[in-house]
Amino acid sequence: MSGPFHDDDDEFSMDDFPTLAAVAGLARLIPQVPWFTSVGTAIDAELRAAADSYVSALGFPEATVADVIEWEDAEFAAANPDWNTDWWEAEEQLRVALTAEAVELLGDEEMLVVALTNVTKAASECVHVAAAGAAGGIGRRNPALVRAAAGAATQASYQTALLLAADGEEDHPFALKFRLFEAGRWPLGIVGSSFNIF
């Protein structure tokens, strides 16, 4: 591996930073994720359970999972002005806390930034193509919708990388959210008391 985490570096190796090794593993995994391949299909019991686990872990156990079937409906849901701002704030608080934990664990903020940047780059290189392909004609007519889908996937990748860097738990909300993307879906967020999944 090139860069500051080269395995034969005289000062340190990836073995010295197992959480960064996990982040590097995520960067390699990202191109293999079936991004957006199941959007618009019916939500089965397994996916519904995974979505319920995410909203409960995030602190919104009352939120009900809602199917979004068409790209036009996803566009409306993504742009809905009635988004639950508490949901966004809960994720932001988790991000801030994990950042502090990761920096304390690594002892070097710059290493964390480099690792997270690598994951974001890996995601941005493939999720936009995947979103555009899944959106088809509506994506060509509405490139902003494709950018929104790709942005959500890139953000989820970043959040998961941050969780790995901080040596977080597998049942953390960010891990649970990433599993929804791994299932080929686009979790659109909480509007009112509904957790919309495309």
Contact in structure between 145 and 15 (CB atoms under 8 Å) = no
Phi, psi of 188 (to 5 degrees): -85, -20
Residues 187 and 60: beta-carbon distance below 8 Å: no
pLDDT for 48-84, tens place per residue?
999 999 999 999 999 999 999 999 899 888 877 677 7
Instruction: Assess contact for 31 and 24: CB atoms under 8 A.
Output: no
**Domain map of the chain by residue range?**
33-197
DSSP string, 110-145: HHHHHHHHHHHHHHHHHHHHHHHHHHTHHHHH-HHH
Query: pLDDT, tens digit, for every residue of 134-169?
Result: 999 888 888 999 999 999 999 999 999 999 999 999
- Say yes or no to pLDDT of 37 above 60: yes
Handedness of CA 97, 101, 107, 108 (dihedral sign): negative
pTM for the whole thing? Answer: 0.89
What percent of the chain is predicted at pLDDT more than 70? Answer: 91
- The letter for the amino acid at 77 is A
Q: Which residues pair with 154 in a beta bridge?
A: none
How large a percentage of the chain has pLDDT more than 90?
76
pLDDT at 85: 86
